[in-house]
Structure 1
Amino acid sequence: MNDVSRREASAYPFQSLFVPFPFVCFSLALGTDVAFWQTGDLMWQNFSAWLLFAGLVAGGLALLAGLIDLLRARTRPLRPSFLAIILFVVMLVLAFVNSLVHAGDGWTAVVPYGLLLSAVTFAVSLMAVTASTGKYARLAWRV
């Protein structure tokens, strides 16, 4: 590997490794909540709880990686906007509250508040993705 490609690889933000996981987990949690609402099968409630937990762990790792990226000068052009960061944190807070709601037993752990929180978390995640993609669309792809 030559110096140019090594230098370009060092400019890759660490947060990009972890940020997609919470979005996927929280989207799937909404799907499993809808499945629980329609079927009443407790398996879907367990899936939702585990997806929320996995998304929160990955989101915490993404925040830690983002703090590391703040200290790296090479990742400056790829840093997300302040709005995207705030929306990501709001999404994690909503998912944490949703996880607490899902910790209950049976139907009331998901319907109606768990399902509503999953839908709001999903909507905030879409806003966070929209806020963060504007900056990346203006930058050239790094290969």
Structure 2
Amino acid sequence: MAQSHPAADDAVAGQPIHAVLVQFPTVCFTLALLTDLAYWQTANLMWQNFSAWLLFVGLVVGVLAALVGIIDILVRRSARRSGAAWPHAIGSIVVLVLAFINSLIHAGDGWTAVVPWGLTLSILTVLVMIATGFLGRSMTASSHRGDRDHA
């Protein structure tokens, strides 16, 4: 019977489950920014509805990814050793808070649900998400190197 590597137990195709899940809110929040821009340019309510749904789905999967990430940090020593673990976690929480506030603003009707504050929060969410993504990527890469070194 083949033995599995401990790091492989919490991974999908060699990536930690958190790294796989976090892609969904990343795409949703980025698309919400694009649909906000489309609404700003066209005033077509369809784009506001798209933004609201994208924010909702991004938040649901983002909270799930955060829970998996917390478990990942608590269980995997290599994740805790990374200096980027806590800044990444704090950045991820900031992204979820910004997206939640943005979702509340998008719950309004018409132009004021997007312009100016919904659009501004979408931009801020994506900018913080980019910075947090770099931290997470460096953390994932260093933890995989540590897993290989101990194999």
Q: TM-score range by the shorter chain?
A: 0.7 to 0.9
Query: Is residue 126 from structure 1 mapped to residue 127 from structure 2 by the alignment?
Result: no
Contact persistence 2:18–2:68 (CA under 8 A): yes
Q: Distance in 2 between matches of 1:30 and 1:51?
A: 10
Q: Distance in 2 between matches of 1:55 and 1:134?
A: 22
Output aligned runs, 1:1-143, within 5 Å.
2-5=2-5, 7-12=6-11, 13-72=16-75, 75-78=76-79, 81-138=85-142, 139-140=144-145
Percent identity for Structure 1 against Structure 2: 52
Q: What is the root-mean-square deviation in Å for CA atoms of aligned residues? A: 2.0
- C-alpha change, 1:62 and 1:104, in structure 2 (3 Å) is same
Aligned length: 139
The secondary structure found in structure 2 opposite 1:3 is: coil
Report Cα offsets for 1:15-42 as digits up to 9, x if no partner: 2232111111100100000000011110
- C-alpha change, 1:117 and 1:8, in structure 2 (3 Å) is closer
Contact persistence 2:102–2:122 (CA under 8 A): yes
What TM-score do the two structures reach when normalised by structure 2? Answer: 0.82
Unaligned runs of 5+ in 2: none
Amino acid at match of 1:135: M
Unaligned runs of 5+ in 1: none
- Using the TM superposition, give the Cα deviation of residue 83 of structure 1 relative to its aligned residue in structure 2, in angstroms: 0.2
Q: Distance in 1 between matches of 2:7 and 2:74?
A: 17
What TM-score do the two structures reach when normalised by structure 1? Answer: 0.87
Q: Distance in 1 between matches of 2:36 and 2:115?
A: 8
- C-alpha change, 1:126 and 1:100, in structure 2 (3 Å) is same
- C-alpha change, 1:14 and 1:136, in structure 2 (3 Å) is closer
- Using the TM superposition, give the Cα deviation of residue 64 of structure 1 relative to its aligned residue in structure 2, in angstroms: 1.6
